[in-house]
């Protein structure tokens, strides 16, 4: 009876998924209600979790709850600690959820909502969740080893070194691109800039509170910090309307870029308890709270999607970024569908805290599906904006025209009507002076979220509060990524430079701290500056570069997982990691090749450099712009070189993996694995 | 009601884990030392040092 009920429920869910997808597929020329999308996503993710995830856990990995996990074997009260399954689920999800699943789907909405939706649904189930789950499994069976260690031990020394260098390079591009998102969200916005600036003294106050006044009371301190941040959002409105204060916080893109660079340096060099850690605590709670709030808001408001399912920009001539739907949709949405960075988390803290092997199924596979759902919500929020507004906010002035009249005329000519008056009204409603050309995805996402929140309660009267609350939420946790990432980059660099000059490797030697912090900040700061001054908006070149890098890291992770499966004598199942690996290699190498060699100047870095060189030689560039044009030429060549380095590094590890797999499958290579030997668990059943 | 109570316990558990308060409680239990400012400093410094040797996810 129970079995029949079980079959009935899952069959019912499959029917719901089919009906919802059918409703989306057959709606042509009229807006679709987001209800269908949310219901389809929930059904597909649940089915994927229950059947595909469980199949991998049972048949391929043969998870065994009798086997002691690293948390039990090395229990130390610190890193290694058996933890409740759902608490660890929340912990792992908080660690993998970043701005990627929010920004990527928003940018990819230039193709329409359908490509991004399908890629998130199927990419997460068949790719992202598989990667996170398999790497978590591999690390758990190897005493909690990192991805780099596993690459070195399972594939070879080259793999480990390539993984380390790739991570460092990705980190630099990641920090630059997320900083650019913040700059574009805050430039010319005294309200937003004040709110974010206020979070810094608030974080320092929290740091001092935790250090000296109420040591250990992190939750209490975070609650106080949250109230202070809310007050800062309210205070921002007053600042924006103050004749004397508003100019102080009305900053250009370049000024904001330098402010963030200085902030990154300070956060990396200052004691971690003073600024970085309290901000991190605060941003983690706000992030989870807002994601929950957005889910509730979408369920209550269930807005219509105003964007069409497909736009004409599938042809590669989109204003937000250049490139056709294949491969660029799959590069633009990395986090939310499949993200290499997750492999670092899955082989970081989480495997050291798992109590039972079977817990890896909900934690590794389930958390990624939840992140996919966050991506779907971001897509809904962005697509619920009128298409004209969406493109007016996200298109750079260099593409649509620098004045409101020119921009609205261009966007209207694409078939997405919008007027300068409507944009001015909207800007006034959200407390901004202008919403044109706010590239990067954050402002349009904030607009969409604000409309959803306002419809849930409060109406348009508090639209401006919700808009700046959403901007604060996005900027706060992006800045946490910047300061934590800069610090991590500093450690990695110190580790590398320590081999050349020993004192540089010492993490407490102040000259070493300052010089390596400056090097890391200088590296991402340069790319950030390049993005800020780019007439095409910066996102056009940096986001695809980041997407390619992130997906290539994913390819490394899938190579490791495939190698482990073959060594476990599960070669008949290598399609599980092999199919997403092949897909990623095809998309990333195609995208990388096009970004370097495409003859279209907006798409190809070298083509753009050549076009600018020709313009200079032909005297079509005025003397005052000559130096800036030379810099642009250099930047394009630099981007091409960075992209090529990523591709070469990953090609090396993939070829190395093929060599290992060939030897293993032919039987000419030993299938020795670094898997830890079986140890019977001593934990009582009730303690699980 | 029991479901709600369990949900609340789990949410509080997640919040305590994310805030390192659970880890600190484990640290005190493991070492057998009482809570003090100095103890929090030594725990927090070591934990944060390890925590920020790993990148934040994008």
CA B1 to chain A, closest CA, distance in angstroms equals 19
DSSP label at A434? -
- Residue A288 and residue A280: Cα distance in Å, rounded? 12
DSSP label at A83? B
Query: CB within 8 A of A235, min separation 6: which ones?
Result: A194, A195, A198
Q: Which of B15, B41, B58 sits opposite A174 (nearest CB)?
A: B58
CB contact under 8 A, B57 and A339: yes
Over residues A129-163, the pLDDT tens digits come to 999 999 999 999 999 998 888 998 998 888 777 87
User: Residue A608: pLDDT above 70?
Assistant: yes
Chain A to chain B, count of Cβ pairs less than 8 Å apart? 129
Q: Which of B14, B51, B55 sits opposite A87 (nearest CB)?
A: B14
User: Which B residues 15-34 touch A at CB under 8 Å?
Assistant: 15-24, 26-27, 29-31
CB contact under 8 A, B53 and A488: yes
Over residues A319-364, the pLDDT tens digits come to 999 999 999 999 999 989 999 989 988 998 899 999 999 999 999 9
Give the pLDDT confidence score for residue A124 in this predicted structure: 98
Give the pLDDT confidence score for residue A672 in this predicted structure: 84
Q: Cβ(B11)–Cβ(A43) under 8 Å? A: no
Which residue in chain A is spatially nearest to B43 when comparing CA positions?
Answer: A78
Over residues A489-528, the pLDDT tens digits come to 888 888 778 878 888 777 778 888 888 889 999 999 999 9
- Whole-angstrom CA distances from A23 to A329, A374, A497, A529 are 23, 22, 57, 45
Q: Which of B31, B50, B58 sits opposite A335 (nearest CB)?
A: B58
Mean pLDDT of A646-673: 91
Say what percent of chain A tops pLDDT 70: 99
pTM greater than 0.80: yes
The 10 Å Cβ neighbour count of residue A191 is 29
User: Residue A100: pLDDT above 50?
Assistant: yes
Average pLDDT over chain A reads 92
Over residues A198-214, the pLDDT tens digits come to 999 999 999 999 999 99
CB contact under 8 A, B56 and A88: no
User: Residue A422: pLDDT above 50?
Assistant: yes
Q: Which of A94, A167, A219 sits opposite B16 (nearest CB)?
A: A219
Mean pLDDT of A666-681: 91
User: Residue A13: pLDDT above 70?
Assistant: yes
Complex ipTM, two decimals?
0.95
Q: Does B42 touch chain A (CB under 8 A)?
A: no
Give the CATH fold of the A2-188+251-666 domain.
Answer: Sodium/glucose cotransporter (1.20.1730)
User: Which A residues 627-686 touch B at CB under 8 Å?
Assistant: none
Over residues A372-386, the pLDDT tens digits come to 999 999 999 999 999
Over residues A79-98, the pLDDT tens digits come to 899 999 999 999 899 889 88
Give the pLDDT confidence score for residue A687 in this predicted structure: 52
In A474-629, DSSP assigns E strands to none
CB contact under 8 A, B37 and A215: yes
User: Residue A686: pLDDT above 80?
Assistant: no
Give the pLDDT confidence score for residue A456 in this predicted structure: 86
| DSSP run (H or E) holding A650 | helix A623-666
| Confidence category of residue A688, pLDDT binned at 50, 70, 90 | very low
Token pair recorded at residue A502: 């020993």
Mean pLDDT of B8-17: 93
- Residue A186 and residue A526: Cα distance in Å, rounded? 19
DSSP string, A585-637: HHHHHHHHHHHHH-SSTTT-HHHHHHHHHHHHHTT-S-HHHHHHHHHHHHHHH
Q: Which residues pair with A680 in a beta bridge?
A: A67
Lowest mean pLDDT among A2-6, A183-187, B23-27: A2-6
User: Of A672 and A303, which is predicted with more confidence?
Assistant: A303
∠ CA A570-A571-A575, rounded to 5°: 105
Mean pLDDT of A643-664: 93
- Residue A449 and residue A469: Cα distance in Å, rounded? 10
Mean pLDDT of B42-55: 86
> In this structure, what are the phi and psi dihedrals at residue A67, rounded to the nearest 5 degrees?
-85, 130
Over residues A44-68, the pLDDT tens digits come to 999 999 999 999 999 999 999 999 9
The 10 Å Cβ neighbour count of residue A96 is 27
| Confidence category of residue A284, pLDDT binned at 50, 70, 90 | very high
């Amino acid at each position: 009876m129970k079995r029949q009920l079980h079959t009935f429920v899952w069959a019912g869910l499959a029917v719901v998924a089919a009906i919802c997808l059918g409703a989306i597929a057959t709606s042509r020329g009229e807006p679709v209600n987001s209800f269908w999308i949310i219901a389809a996503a929930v059904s597909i993710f649940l089915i994927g979790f229950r059947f595909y995830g469980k199949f991998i856990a049972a048949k391929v990995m043969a998870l065994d709850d009798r086997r002691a996990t690293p948390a039990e074997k090395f229990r130390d009260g610190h890193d290694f600690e058996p933890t409740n399954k759902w608490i660890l689920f929340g912990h792992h999800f908080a660690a993998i959820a970043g701005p990627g699943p929010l920004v990527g789907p928003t940018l990819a909405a230039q193709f329409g909502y359908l490509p991004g939706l399908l890629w998130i649904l199927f990419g997460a189930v068949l790719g992202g969740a598989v990667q996170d789950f398999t790497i978590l499994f591999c690390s758990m069976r190897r005493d909690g080893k990192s991805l780099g260690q596993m690459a070195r031990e399972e594939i070879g020394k080259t793999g480990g070194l390539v993984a380390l260098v790739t991570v460092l390079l990705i980190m630099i591009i990641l920090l630059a691109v997320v900083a650019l998102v913040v700059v574009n969200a805050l430039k010319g916005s005294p309200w937003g800039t004040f709110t974010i600036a206020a979070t810094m003294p608030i974080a320092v106050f929290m740091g001092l509170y935790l250090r000296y006044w109420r040591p250990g009371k992190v939750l209490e301190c975070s609650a106080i910090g949250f109230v202070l941040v809310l007050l800062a959002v309210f205070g921002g409105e007053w600042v924006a309307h103050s004749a004397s204060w508003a100019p102080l916080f009305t900053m250009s893109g370049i000024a904001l870029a330098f402010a963030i660079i200085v902030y990154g340096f300070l956060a990396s060099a200052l004691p971690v308890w003073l600024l970085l850690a309290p901000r991190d605590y605060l941003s983690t709670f706000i992030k989870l709270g807002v994601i929950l709030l957005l889910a509730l808001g979408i369920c209550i408001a269930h807005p219509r999607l105003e964007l069409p399912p497909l736009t004409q920009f599938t042809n590669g001539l989109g204003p937000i970024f250049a490139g056709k739907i294949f491969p660029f949709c799959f590069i633009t949405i990395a986090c939310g569908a499949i993200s290499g960075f997750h492999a670092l988390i899955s082989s970081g803290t989480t495997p050291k805290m798992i109590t039972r092997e079977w817990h890896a199924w909900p934690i590794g596979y389930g958390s990624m599906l939840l992140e996919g759902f966050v991506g779907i919500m971001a897509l809904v929020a962005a697509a619920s904006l009128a298409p004209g507004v969406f493109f007016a906010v996200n298109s750079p002035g260099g593409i649509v025209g620098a004045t409101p009249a020119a921009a609205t005329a261009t966007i209207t000519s694409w078939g997405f009507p919008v007027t300068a008056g409507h944009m001015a009204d909207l800007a006034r409603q959200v407390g901004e002076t202008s919403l044109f050309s706010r590239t990067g995805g954050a402002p349009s996402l904030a607009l969409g979220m604000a409309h959803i929140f306002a419809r849930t309660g409060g109406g348009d009267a508090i639209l401006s509060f919700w808009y700046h609350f959403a901007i604060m939420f996005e900027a706060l946790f992006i800045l946490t990524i910047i300061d934590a990432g800069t610090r991590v980059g500093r450690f990695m660099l110190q580790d590398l430079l320590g081999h050349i000059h020993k004192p540089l490797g010492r993490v407490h030697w102040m000259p070493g701290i300052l010089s390596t912090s400056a090097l890391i900040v200088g590296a991402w700061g340069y790319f950030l500056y390049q993005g800020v001054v780019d007439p095409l908006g910066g996102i056009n070149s940096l986001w695809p570069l980041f997407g390619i890098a992130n997906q290539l890291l994913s390819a490394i992770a899938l190579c490791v997982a495939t190698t482990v499966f073959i060594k476990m004598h599960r070669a008949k199942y290598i399609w599980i990691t092999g199919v997403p690996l092949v897909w990623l290699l095809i998309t990333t190498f195609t995208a990388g090749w096009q970004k370097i060699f495409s003859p279209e100047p907006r798409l190809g870095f070298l083509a753009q450099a050549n076009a600018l060189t020709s313009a200079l030689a032909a005297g079509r560039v005025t003397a005052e712009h000559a130096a800036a044009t030379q810099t642009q030429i250099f930047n394009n060549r630099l981007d091409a070189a960075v992209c090529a380095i990523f591709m070469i590094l990953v090609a090396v590890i993939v070829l190395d993996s093929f060599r290992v797999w060939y030897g293993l499958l032919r039987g000419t290579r030993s299938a020795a694995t670094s898997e830890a030997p079986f140890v019977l668990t001593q934990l009582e059943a009730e303690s699980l | 009601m029991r479901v709600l109570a369990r949900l609340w316990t789990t949410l509080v558990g997640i919040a305590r884990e994310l805030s390192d308060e659970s880890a600190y409680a484990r640290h005190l239990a493991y070492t057998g030392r009482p809570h003090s400012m100095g103890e929090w400093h030594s725990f927090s410094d070591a934990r944060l040092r390890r925590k920020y040797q790993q990148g934040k996810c994008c």
